[in-house]
Amino acid sequence: MTPQTKEIVLAEPRGFCAGVDRAIEIVERALAKFGAPIYVRHEIVHNTYVVNDLKAKGAIFIEDLADVPPGATLVFSAHGVSKAVQNEAHARGFEVFDATCPLVTKVHIEVAKLAREGYEFVMIGHKGHPEVEGTMGQLDGGIHLVEDVGDVARIQPAQTERLAVVTQTTLSVDDAAEIMAAVRRRFPDIRQPKQQDICYATQNRQDAVKVMSRQVDVVVVVGSPTSSNSNRLAELARKLGVESHMVDNAGELRPEWLEGKSRVGLTAGASAPELLVGQVIDRIRELGAVSVRRMDGVEETIRFPLPKGLKL
């Protein structure tokens, strides 16, 4: 195909979810109300542009609470934190605003409630991801992490009469279902969440990529390398047999990816701002695209309330 025939197919929905919107607004409101600096434990969301933008406005991102001065204002990232981090923050006397996504908080509440009833847990998730560390850190023990089907055979709960399963909210829906099936085979009586833990935004963006992948020759995902849900979108397209690439910004887009491709699918992870999507569209136009078509898709209307104390 000649370059002039290229069409950009835009996934719907894409980009920011309600939890990301809320987390960024919490930091911006804290800066407006209390002034810089505002300290944030871990990247507020996993996106380079967002983090750098907030740094420029006066946010300081830290991993160790020892790096936060006494009396400072501290925000917990959207991924959530362990009980140990919560307790340390309060012991140090910080003014704390919790930007944990309410859908992650829902998992934390479920873990705490069932632990009081004597349950142990199987957690499906990625080792080292801050959300997984935060959820597993709600308890002192009794949570067994599985990253793949092979892990399911290796875990050894102390008992199986009271066993429940929880998942990281940003997993591949299909991979999680496969691991969940293995968990159920090994522990037929395991308690499952009333509603799946994988969040609506993760599900919707993956569903959109499934539809889009049938219509395009290559998929470009806007998202940072640290973003779990963005990586899952790129992986999903590949599993569906479509070449896919992830870019943090338009400057990372390589012209050779688009050579001979008449339709380019474009989506963005839940932590990637629409501004970056627009810049990638402009870049693909420079490389020969002549039209943009928006797919039909789920309209997301969910909004989460802000914590008390941040009204301006």
- 181-202-182 Cα angle (round to 5): 10
The residue among 14, 10, 11 whose CA lies nearest residue 269 is 14
C-beta of residue 258 within 8 angstroms of C-beta of residue 288: yes
What are 146's strand-pairing partners? 124
Distance separating alpha carbons of residues 34 and 190, to the nearest angstrom: 47
Distance separating alpha carbons of residues 11 and 265, to the nearest angstrom: 7
Could you tell me the strand order of the sheet in which 38-41 lies?
59-62, 38-41, 73-76, 95-98
List the structure tokens of 62.
């830290």
Residues with catalytic function: 131
Distance separating alpha carbons of residues 18 and 300, to the nearest angstrom: 9
List the structure tokens of 9.
């197919």
C-beta of residue 219 within 8 angstroms of C-beta of residue 244: yes
C-beta of residue 213 within 8 angstroms of C-beta of residue 187: no
Q: Please, what sign has the CA dihedral across residues 206, 212, 213, 216?
A: negative
What SS3 state is found at 145?
A: strand
Distance separating alpha carbons of residues 160 and 179, to the nearest angstrom: 18
